[in-house]
Amino acid sequence: MKVRVHVSLKPGVLDPQGRAIHHSLEGLGFSGVNEVRAGRLIELDVADSVTDEALDDMCRKLLANMVIENYRIEKVAT
Partner 1 sequence: MTFCCAVVTFPGSNCDRDMAVALEKVSGTAPLRVWHGDADLPEGLDFIALPGGFSYGDYLRCGAIASRSPIMRAVVEAANRGVPVLGVCNGFQVLTESGLLPGALLRNSVIRFVCRDVKLRVENAQSLFTSGYEAGQEILIPVAHHDGNYFADEATLDRLEGEGRVAFRYAEDVNGSSRQIAGVLNGAGNVLGMMPHPERAIEATHGGTDGRALFESAMKALVGA
**Cα–Cα distance for residue pair 55/67, rounded to 1 Å:** 18
Question: Applying CB under 8 A, does 62 fall inside the site for partner 1?
Answer: yes
Range in contact with partner 1 (rule: CB under 8 A) among 11-19, 29-37, 49-57, 70-78: 11-19
Q: Across 1-78, where does the E strand assignment appear?
A: 2-9, 40-45, 69-76
Strands, sheet with 69-76, edge to edge from the N-terminal-most edge strand? 40-45, 2-9, 69-76
Range in contact with partner 1 (rule: CB under 8 A) among 25-33, 48-56, 62-70: 62-70
Question: Applying CB under 8 A, does 68 fall inside the site for partner 1?
Answer: yes
Contacts with partner 1, residue ranges (CB under 8 A): 13-14, 16-17, 19-20, 61-63, 65, 67-68
